[in-house]
């Protein structure tokens, strides 16, 4: 009874585009996309929590802008792609018997994990860019753990399906002379036409099959073009928050390139951080603590030091980024003041919160473009951008570009 009902469901779901070749074409793009997101995500994670002994590239200065921009852009493009891939293989959900062996059970469990983790990863990632957190768990740690689950389940899924993937990888082996997809023979994958049923089931099946079906080529092109255009559309309307070329099309992204004080978006304002009074206090000093001596510098002291200009982007983990012109004191020059070159620093902010103290690794501290910035785009730093002084360094996530500085201490 269940078996014949499910057979009818599969008959109703039949479409010329539901074919292993479609699953392979969409699946390899999806797999590549998830690998790009995994790699760029892992890079971003390690920049924030380096493993012992790890060092990072400080050039090109837009490296993190590129990797994190790609992370969010590709992740957004994966939303239509994932739905299209699942549309293609949806009839397999109604296979009967549901499992034939222990290996089959594991395979289905792996697919369930892969699909669930992929959905939650893309949904929470997208919502995070809008700073909307409707879930009862930590975002960053969960996003990180699910990323490993996705690549793990994906590797197993590819391992299981490898013969089918190889069979339908090339177009030349997948279509006949007229360009129509070849029928799926035994052992070449699922998604084969339903076998003829008898009795009542057979009668309902014939009735379902009498419903009109578009020509195979039209059906397949509709799926591929629809998916491609949908991915292109979601990228075109959001990627302008980091790609200047697409900025005119940006109508759905959480941020706009130059929208914020001094032409730069802000993640946390001075009001949110409750630092306005401290930031504007003339008694403010930046304490630089070396291994043997310390100095406390006023804003005038800092302005009296040699000033360095740096064109560096602010690139946020949320995927937006904006290029800006910064001016201030090179961290290397401050390090010379206390005789602490080639060292790692603990950078403290007078704002409380998750990133109130960050580690400035040696390679960033030694980079001539790493500044204690006092000016932004030709003006005195806006209080929302970290007045009186903030850190800015090349190729690092925005959350590590500590604002409202209090001290730099040699580690």
**In the window 280-319, what residues touch other proteins (CB under 8 A)?**
none
Both tokens assigned to 225:
């073009």
**How many binding residues for other proteins (CB under 8 A)?**
89
**What CA–CA distance (Å, rounded) separates 200 from 196?**
12
- C-alpha torsion sign, points 27, 33, 37, 38: positive
For other proteins, which is the closer residue by CB, 6 or 295? 6
Quote the least distance from Cβ 171 to other proteins, whole Å: 20
Phi, psi for residue 408 in degrees, rounded to 5: -120, 125
Question: Which residue in the set 3, 50, 60, 159 belongs to the binding site for other proteins (CB under 8 A)?
Answer: 159
Quote the least distance from Cβ 301 to other proteins, whole Å: 31
The one segment of 21-29, 258-266, 334-342, 353-361 that binds other proteins by CB under 8 A: 258-266
For other proteins, which is the closer residue by CB, 145 or 197? 145
Binding status of residue 160 toward other proteins by CB under 8 A: yes
Binding status of residue 74 toward other proteins by CB under 8 A: no
- The number of beta carbons lying within 10 Å of the beta carbon of residue 343 is 17
Chain residues 161-190 in contact with other proteins, contact rule CB under 8 A: 162-163, 166
**What CA–CA distance (Å, rounded) separates 88 from 220?**
10
Chain residues 195-254 in contact with other proteins, contact rule CB under 8 A: 211-215, 218, 221-222, 225-227, 229-231, 233-234, 237-238, 250-254
Core vs surface per residue 62-72: b (16+ CB within 10 A) or e: bbbbbbbbbbb
Binding status of residue 86 toward other proteins by CB under 8 A: yes
Strand ranges (DSSP E) for 270-307? 286-289, 294-297
Give the rounded distance of the alpha carbon of 261 from its chain centre.
26
DSSP string, 228-282: HHHHHHHHHTTGGGT-GGGGGG-SSSS--TT-SGGG---SS-HHHHT-HHHHT-T
Quote the least distance from Cβ 212 to other proteins, whole Å: 3
Quote the least distance from Cβ 147 to other proteins, whole Å: 8
- C-alpha torsion sign, points 55, 59, 62, 67: negative
For other proteins, which is the closer residue by CB, 20 or 290? 20
Question: Which residue in the set 57, 99, 105, 112 belongs to the binding site for other proteins (CB under 8 A)?
Answer: 112
Quote the least distance from Cβ 29 to other proteins, whole Å: 15
Both tokens assigned to 390:
């903030």
Quote the least distance from Cβ 17 to other proteins, whole Å: 11
- Closest by CA to 72, choosing from 128, 30, 113, is 128
For other proteins, which is the closer residue by CB, 58 or 231? 231
Binding status of residue 42 toward other proteins by CB under 8 A: no
Site of tokens 């023979």: 185
The one segment of 139-147, 173-181, 183-191, 338-346 that binds other proteins by CB under 8 A: 139-147
For other proteins, which is the closer residue by CB, 96 or 135? 135
Residue 117 parent element (H or E): helix 102-129
Binding status of residue 131 toward other proteins by CB under 8 A: yes
For other proteins, which is the closer residue by CB, 134 or 378? 134
Quote the least distance from Cβ 194 to other proteins, whole Å: 15
């Amino acid at each position: 009874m269940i078996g014949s009902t499910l057979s009818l469901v599969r008959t109703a779901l039949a479409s010329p585009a539901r074919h292993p070749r479609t699953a392979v074409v969409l699946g390899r793009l999806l797999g590549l996309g998830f690998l790009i997101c995994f790699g760029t995500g892992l890079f971003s994670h390690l920049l924030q929590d380096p493993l012992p002994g790890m060092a990072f590239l400080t050039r090109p200065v837009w490296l993190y802008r590129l990797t994190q921009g790609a992370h969010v852009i590709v992740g957004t493009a994966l939303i239509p792609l994932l739905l299209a891939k699942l549309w293609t293989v949806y009839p397999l959900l109604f296979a009967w018997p549901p499992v034939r062996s222990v290996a089959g059970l594991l395979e289905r469990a792996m697919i369930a994990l892969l699909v669930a983790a992929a959905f939650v990863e893309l949904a929470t990632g997208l919502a995070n860019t809008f700073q909307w957190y409707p879930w009862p768990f930590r975002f960053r740690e969960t996003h990180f753990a699910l990323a490993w689950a996705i690549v793990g389940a994906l590797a197993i899924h590819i391992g299981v399906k490898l013969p089918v993937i190889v069979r339908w990888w090339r177009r030349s082996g997948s279509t006949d002379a007229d360009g129509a997809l070849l029928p799926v023979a035994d052992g070449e994958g699922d998604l084969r036409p339903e076998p003829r049923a008898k009795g009542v089931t057979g009668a309902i099946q014939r009735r379902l099959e009498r419903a009109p079906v578009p020509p195979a080529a039209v059906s397949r092109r509709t799926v591929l073009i629809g998916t491609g255009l949908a991915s292109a559309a979601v990228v075109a309307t959001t990627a302008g928050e980091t790609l200047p070329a697409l900025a005119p099309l940006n109508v759905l992204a959480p941020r706009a390139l130059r929208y914020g004080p001094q032409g730069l978006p802000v993640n946390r304002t001075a009001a949110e951080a409750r630092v306005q009074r401290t930031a504007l206090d003339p008694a403010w000093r930046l304490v630089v603590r070396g291994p043997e001596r310390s100095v406390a510098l006023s804003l005038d002291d800092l302005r009296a030091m040699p000033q360095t200009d740096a064109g560096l982007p602010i690139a946020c983990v949320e995927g937006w980024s904006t290029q800006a012109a910064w001016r201030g004191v090179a961290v290397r020059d401050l390090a010379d003041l206390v005789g602490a070159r080639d060292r790692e620093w603990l950078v403290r902010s007078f704002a409380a919160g998750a990133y109130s103290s960050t580690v400035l690794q040696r390679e960033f501290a030694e980079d001539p473009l790493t500044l204690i910035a006092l000016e932004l785009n030709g003006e005195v730093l806006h209080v929302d951008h970290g007045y009186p002084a903030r850190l800015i360094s090349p190729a690092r996530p925005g959350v590590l570009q500590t604002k409202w500085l209090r001290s730099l201490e040699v580690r």
